[in-house]
Amino acid sequence: MKKTPFVTKKQLEEIVKEYPTPFHLYDEAGIRKNAQALKDAFAWNKGFREYFAVKATPNPFVMNILREYGCGYDCSSLTELMLSEATGVQPRDIMFSSNDTPAEEFAYADKLGAIINLDDITHIDCLEETLGHIPEIISCRYNPGGLFKISNDIMDNPGDAKYGMTTEQIFDAFRILKSKGAKEFGIHAFLASNTVTNEYYPMLAKVLFELAVKLQKETGAHVKFINLSGGIGIPYKPDQEPNDIAVIGEGVRKVYEEVLVPAGMGDVAIYTELGRFMLGPYGGLITKAIHEKHTHKEYIGVDACAANLMRPAIYGAYHHITVMGKENEPCDHMYDVTGSLCENCDKFAVDRMLPKIDMGDLLFIHDAGAHGYSMGYNYNGRLRSAEVLLKEDGSTQLIRRAETPADYFATFDCFDIADRLPKK
């Protein structure tokens, strides 16, 4: 089984002449097609909106593409709020879903007109003390606890998650917030991560829709929107069947009409906060084979490392690898594909069957468009790579330059030593 890169070897050979490896490459055409597909899948809901999870791919060029399809932003920190503000947001363009939130971040979110999604009932007092009021539109994050199952398969364990309020707490929170001036309410939940099944969203929707009916009936609060959050995953392995967003949207519509419409709540807007689904398949990490090692195993060393894509190192996550130009050659060599960090987990693949790799070969590491660059770090003094956009017309645009040593040393500017460190 194999995956097909969104760029050819010939294209990539031209691109690397301008941008040295490693770098992250994004597919504008794929991003646009996927954003439209999501919009079409939920077009039946008049108030539908996707709030793109900025944490997945925090790049304003990518974010601005998604804005063309009506997307807002899901933010969870001060800098994500600031980045979103820089793209020209309007009130209600941001959903601020954070946890263990500093007071100043609540204040900044409110200044931008963001919809604040409270993670815990105790945050009500903090929010009121910080703002001097409770916003008229407010949301609460729900965690039903226990295990979340689909067809008897355990998808995730919400009871172990630090996020959200219990059933009792969210009812109390709605009553308290209503008494303090809130007029329109939202419900939010994230019960499973990276699900590759069309059943997840409709099942989650049923849980939240039934909760919404009870909340509105018992507290008198007007439920304005229900945020299904993220959780729709992507097929990292080539033998996995991808989610069908049209089928998912239709599944949610059926539950909507079964639960909300009979309760007189057919005006409730549906929101999503997708990151991995929106960008994951439309980004690749481009790296070059620079060393080979023959010891107890066969190793291929590349010029990227876990600082560029850490999911394989910290999760043991699978990312498919294409050796460019050798797509049709037999995968008859077993390699560990490694980076240069002083950590044995710094491996993009372990015991992976690949075509014979020669020094200088370009490797395309798939599905790095979300939680790829954004999870980068500077261990061993390694520097974050560039981000490049492959535009619809085949041209490229640098949308973030690679870090330099001067960037790494920049935070020493409060000491005299800064004068002895490289400036370029």
Percent of the chain surpassing pLDDT 90: 89
Q: How confident is the model at residue 390 (pLDDT cuts 50, 70, 90)?
A: very high
- Segment 352-381 shows an average pLDDT of 97
Cβ–Cβ under 8 Å, residues 65 and 28: yes
What fold characterizes domain 281-412? Lyase, Ornithine Decarboxylase; Chain A, domain 1 (2.40.37)
pLDDT in tens, 181-211: 999 999 999 888 888 999 999 999 999 999 9
pLDDT at 376: 93
User: Is it the case that residue 150 has pLDDT exceeding 90?
Assistant: no
Query: What pLDDT is recorded for position 305?
Result: 97
Cα dist from 77 to 41, 88, 191, whole Å = 29, 17, 21
Does residue 290 register a pLDDT over 60?
yes
For the chain, give the mean pLDDT. Answer: 94
Mean pLDDT of 260-269: 98
pLDDT at 157 over 80: no
Q: What is the pLDDT of residue 94?
A: 98
Q: What local confidence, expressed as pLDDT, does residue 401 receive?
A: 98
Q: Which CATH class is domain 28-280?
A: alpha beta
**Domain boundaries of the chain, sorted by first residue:** 28-280, 281-412
Residue 80: band (very low, low, confident or very high) from pLDDT cuts 50, 70, 90 = very high
| The pLDDT of residue 92 | 96
pLDDT at 54: 98
| CA 242 from centroid of its chain's CA atoms | 17
Q: In whole angstroms, what is the distance from residue 224 CA to residue 188 CA? A: 12
Ranking 107-121, 176-190, 401-415 by mean pLDDT, the lowest is 401-415
- Whether the Cβ atoms of residue 243 and residue 196 lie closer than 8 Å to each other: yes
- Decide if pLDDT at 154 tops 50: no
Tell me what pLDDT residue 36 has. 98
Hey, CA dihedral for 391, 395, 399, 405, is it positive or negative?
positive
pLDDT, mean of residues 28-45: 98
What pLDDT, in 10s, does the model give residues 220-230? 999 999 999 99
